[in-house]
């Protein structure tokens, strides 16, 4: 059976942050994901995130911290930030941390890409000791020009360079993949062993996944058939309120 994860950076935003956890559970979600909030106490976040058995599937590193990995001089600051986030993830019993893409100007692209790979190499033993999986995904270049990574291929090249599938995995964002690549079934068939988390949204609108170009009935069945064990991250912008737009999920839960 499909199990859904609410990206509370986007869902239930009509509510204060901590109240989104309860709303997610009461509306049929098994887990949540989010960018770690700066001004929220870890204890109260832990209580909210554990409401009636709710789990935390993924924590996203804040963009300003992730950006530190792309500069050689700030490598240690990135590792320190990752250590801190790893400790928080451990407290919340979360085993996956997502490091988002960054815009890289062409004149510094190679140096910043090399710095990023080096920082991830240095992060690997830390993540391994903590039992954390580091997720890498790409940004749609239409939404974030000059982003890196900007395609499945660039993520795969990076994963190949890192050569550690015990620590690193692919965050497969179906909305972004369809928007600029297509070939979703082929990606699932060929890369299922590398996929550590899946996110969905309607294409091309980025709203609920009940309308648009993608046959999610088929793709979710394919993921299940291929043995995907994770939750399906619902990372979209609701048309009105989140709860009002959740009718699409009823047939799956």
Q: At what angle do helices 184-191 and 152-162 cross, to 10 degrees?
A: 10
Sign of the alpha-carbon dihedral angle for 16, 21, 25, 30: positive
**pLDDT at position 225:** 96
- Rounded to whole angstroms, the Cα distance separating 158 from 88 reads 26
**pLDDT at position 120:** 98
Domains, the chain, with CATH or none: 4-249 (3.20.20.150)
**pLDDT at position 156:** 97
- In the block, residue with structure tokens 């070939």: 183
pTM given for the model:
0.96
**Closest to 223 (Cα-Cα) out of 249, 248, 200, 253:** 200
**Closest to 61 (Cα-Cα) out of 132, 118, 12, 5:** 132
**pLDDT at position 253:** 80
- Round the CA-based radius of gyration of the chain to a whole number and report it: 17
Residues of the chain with pLDDT under 50: none
- Rounded to whole angstroms, the Cα distance separating 33 from 183 reads 26
pLDDT digit string, tens, across residues 143-161: 889 999 999 999 999 999 9
In contact, 128 and 92? CB cutoff 8 Å: no
**Closest to 197 (Cα-Cα) out of 145, 245, 132:** 132
pLDDT digit string, tens, across residues 157-198: 999 999 999 999 999 999 999 999 999 999 999 999 999 999
| Number of other residues whose CB lies within 10 A of the CB of residue 117 | 16
In degrees rounded to 5, what are phi and psi of residue 46?
-60, -40
């Amino acid at each position: 059976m499909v199990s859904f994860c609410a990206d509370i950076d986007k869902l239930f935003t009509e509510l204060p942050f901590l109240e989104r956890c309860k709303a997610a559970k009461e509306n049929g979600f098994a887990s949540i994901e989010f960018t770690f909030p700066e001004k929220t106490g870890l204890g109260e976040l832990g209580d909210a995130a554990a409401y009636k058995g709710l789990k935390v599937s993924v924590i996203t590193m804040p963009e300003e911290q992730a950006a530190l990995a792309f500069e050689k001089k700030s490598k240690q600051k990135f590792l320190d930030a990752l250590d801190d986030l790893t400790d928080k993830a451990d407290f919340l019993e979360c085993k996956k941390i997502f490091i988002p893409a960054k815009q890289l100007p062409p004149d510094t692209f190679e140096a910043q890409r090399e710095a990023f790979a080096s920082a991830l190499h240095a992060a690997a033993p830390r993540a391994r000791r903590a039992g954390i999986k580091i997720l890498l995904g790409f940004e749609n270049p239409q939404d974030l020009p000059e982003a890196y990574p900007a395609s499945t291929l660039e993520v795969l090249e990076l994963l190949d360079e890192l050569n550690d599938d015990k620590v690193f995995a692919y965050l497969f964002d179906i909305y972004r993949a369809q928007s600029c690549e297509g070939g979703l079934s082929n990606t699932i068939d060929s890369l299922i062993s590398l996929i550590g988390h899946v996110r969905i949204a309607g294409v091309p609108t980025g709203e609920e996944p009940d309308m648009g170009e993608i046959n999610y009935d088929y793709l979710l069945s394919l993921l299940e058939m291929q043995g995907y064990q994770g939750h399906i991250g619902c990372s979209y912008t609701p048309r009105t309120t989140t709860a009002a737009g959740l009718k699409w999920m009823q047939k799956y839960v």
